[in-house]
Amino acid sequence: MDMIDLRSDTVTKPTSAMREAMAKADVGDDVYGEDPTVNQLQDIASELTGKDAALYVASGTMGNVAATLAHTRRGDEIICGLKSHIYRNEQGAMAALAGVQARPLEEEYDGTLDIEKIESAIQTSDDHHPITRVVAIENTHNICGGVPISPTYTEKLGELAVKHGLILHLDGARMFNAAAALGVSPKEIVGPSDSVSICLSKGLCAPVGSVLCGDTDFIHRARRARKVLGGGMRQAGVLAAAGIIALTEMPGRLINDHQNAKLLARLLGEVPGISLERNSASTNMVYFNLDAGVPNSGHEVSDSLRQEGVLLDLVGPSSFRAVTHHGIDSEMVEMSVHVLKKTISI
Ligand SMILES: *Cc1c(COP(=O)(O)O)cnc(C)c1O
């Protein structure tokens, strides 16, 4: 049975154009900086983000961790969101690997961090205090509903960062979704951010990889960090070839995923027993809950759906995330809601 897999956009497979480009890729040893395809990918990424340089890394986590290692010294502090990937979903890497502590702040409903709350969280130069070095945001913000954050906010945050000498890092795993949803360029999403990490292997469909962008000195330090993290890859052009297509040909279709997410949210909204979370379908994600009246647990619903060929991400006892992507069309969306309706009305 072909599954309708709505768990994540990470399940996307390389397109046939990617497979062809991978087979034909011109390669070299990237640890010597001699892989022409990796170099081309990095040039495209730095151009798209308006940064001096870029670095191909194995994953989004490696991009964020390499950025943290490159930006900070041991004992520094990073202001970040309580629901951010770097705080919740990277095994405490900033502490474990960089010796840095988080100063997590609760996000606003729209995925942003309140500028005044950030300002009052910045440490003073008193000898007792750690040095606040970085402020990190996420765009789109996954756990806040895949919500895109406007360039206006990022500009304001940039001004605050300059005022206090802070580094601004953007976890832009899905920044192309943000750009598509807001109708702005990737450069505008990056705005004043000093560094940005972008996933190629989610909605953009590459099989592997992320790209980290920033100024030349930063990328030089991040490159050293990547090596110690085990990310010095050799003929990585075989993978980067797919990444080039991800960056150049795939962003234009993300809007389809957003339309399918809107369709999904609309149909789910009509199902008795289901309530949508705020920000649902602002890009390619729909978060929803089973109401108290539904007799089945989230696990039970998840298991029955699986038997019927529909996969969802169970994110709480009765909460789900559904993510639309290249492998999902509107018929599959309709089918999945049909199956869900049947399952919870048993
Ligand atoms: C997926 C994701 C990452 C990490 O990417 P991996 O390639 O899974 O390591 C980082 N940040 C956000 C917001 C993500 O969604």
What integer is the mean pLDDT of 189-213? Answer: 98
333, pLDDT greater than 70: yes
171 ligand 1 Cβ < 6 A: yes
336 ligand 1 Cβ < 6 A: no
CA of 173 to the centre of ligand 1 (A): 6
Among protein residues, the one with the nearest Cα to ligand 1's atom 6 is: 60
Nearest to 66 by CA among 97, 41, 45, 96: 97
173 ligand 1 Cβ < 6 A: yes
84 ligand 1 Cβ < 6 A: no
What integer is the mean pLDDT of 62-78? Answer: 98
59 ligand 1 Cβ < 6 A: yes
285 ligand 1 Cβ < 6 A: no
Using a 10 angstrom Cβ sphere, with 0-12 exposed, 13-18 middle and 19 or more buried, the burial of residue 91 is exposed
DSSP character at residue 345:
T
What's the residue count for the chain?
A: 346
Ligand 1 atom nearest 210 alpha carbon? 7
Q: What is the band of 188 on the pLDDT scale with cuts at 50, 70, 90?
A: very high
281, pLDDT greater than 80: yes
pTM: 0.97
116 phi and psi, to 5 degrees? Answer: -65, -35
Average model confidence (pLDDT) across the chain = 97
CA of 197 to the centre of ligand 1 (A): 9
Q: What is the band of 145 on the pLDDT scale with cuts at 50, 70, 90?
A: very high
From CA 110, how far away is CA 51, in angstroms rounded? 27
Q: What is the band of 288 on the pLDDT scale with cuts at 50, 70, 90?
A: very high
pLDDT of residue 346: 57
- Reduced to 3 states (helix: H, G, I; strand: E, B; else coil), residue 50 is coil
77 ligand 1 Cβ < 6 A: no
Ligand 1 atom nearest 84 alpha carbon? 13
Domains observed in the chain: 14-249 (3.40.640.10), 253-343 (3.90.1150.10)
142 ligand 1 Cβ < 6 A: yes
CA of 170 to the centre of ligand 1 (A): 12
Strands 319-323 and 285-290: antiparallel
CA of 113 to the centre of ligand 1 (A): 19
90 ligand 1 Cβ < 6 A: no
Q: Is 79 within 8 Å of 103 (Cβ atoms)?
A: yes
In Å, how far are 42, 151, 273, 334 from 340, measured between CA atoms?
Answer: 43, 37, 11, 10
